[in-house]
Amino acid sequence: MARIIGGLTTSHVPSIGGAIARGDQQTPYWKPLFDAFTPIHAWLEEMKPDVAIVIYNDHGLNFFLDKMPTFAVGAAASYDNADEGWGIPVLPSFEGDPDLSWHMIDSLVADEFDITMCQEVLVDHAFTLPIKLMYPNAGPTWPLRTIPVMINSVQHPLPSAARCWKLGQAIGRAIESYPKDLKVVVLGTGGLSHQLDGTRAGFINKDFDLLCMEKIVSDPVVLTQYSNRQIIELAGSQGVELMTWIAMRGALQGKVSTVTSTYHAPISNTGGAVMLLANEPVATLAAAE
């Protein structure tokens, strides 16, 4: 049976790609963010996940304001990166897992989620940079397969934090019911607090960010009680990317513990946060008892 072995959260601002391209990883501004991935690299080398479910928000490569699905899942054999105009290198294509994708889609629809099924998906920085941070020395091919899950955090009305939590739970059930023996890691990418425009451009709320990082482990349901308006007030207009974290956490069905957690702000006017959570599946816990 497939099992979720962990969850990863990270900010995904495009300037991370520029720092990688320039070789700025160990400069004082960037070093805390990149060093946060050192224990993650060790964990990935030990655990060797087969598939990454990447929960993120599309920034216009696939969907724009005229057509914006609330939730979309990729079901392609591969996913290409495209030039978004940020001046960062285009990364090699990412291998998909269509069988697992369709199993997830079938399961999500059965759980009454109206999913947009995407047999072609271009992946942007919110997808590519977290994978690059996880595997900085990967060659022309990546060491695991990937499935993109896109949540609308751009065009109102947005899904609620509570709905994204339930989406994550449904993803977790789908993965745990997949009959193949796979190790899966779930990513929630984005945030934390930031606002890119308006009178609050550059807004960061460290206290709220640290609260989110605490509760995402110990009491994630608390975060589902915030309305989108409250999240925007507390974390900025782009702080609603927190919903990708909430969906990731909902997918972790077992005993969750923190492997590593780092907060470094500002990173390109963002509350830069990185967390790795280990997930001991329910079946493993039951067997131990």
Entry pTM:
0.95
Residuewise pLDDT in 10s, the chain (289 residues): 899 999 999 999 898 999 999 999 999 999 999 999 999 999 999 999 999 999 999 988 899 889 999 999 999 999 999 988 888 999 999 999 999 999 999 999 999 999 999 999 999 999 999 999 999 999 889 999 999 999 999 999 999 999 999 999 999 999 999 999 999 999 999 989 989 788 888 899 999 999 999 999 999 999 999 999 999 999 988 989 999 999 999 999 899 999 999 999 888 889 999 999 999 976 554 444 4
3 state DSSP class of 98: helix
Number of domains within the chain: 1
**CATH number for the domain that contains residue 242:** 3.40.830.10
Closest CA to 49 of 88, 94, 3: 3
66 Cβ neighbours under 8 A, 6+ residues apart: none
Closest CA to 127 of 87, 84, 157, 69: 84
> Does the annotation count 156 as an active-site position?
no
Catalytically annotated residue among 12, 59, 103, 125: 125
Catalytically annotated residue among 12, 103, 194, 264: 194
> Does the annotation count 12 as an active-site position?
no
Range of the domain at 149: 3-288
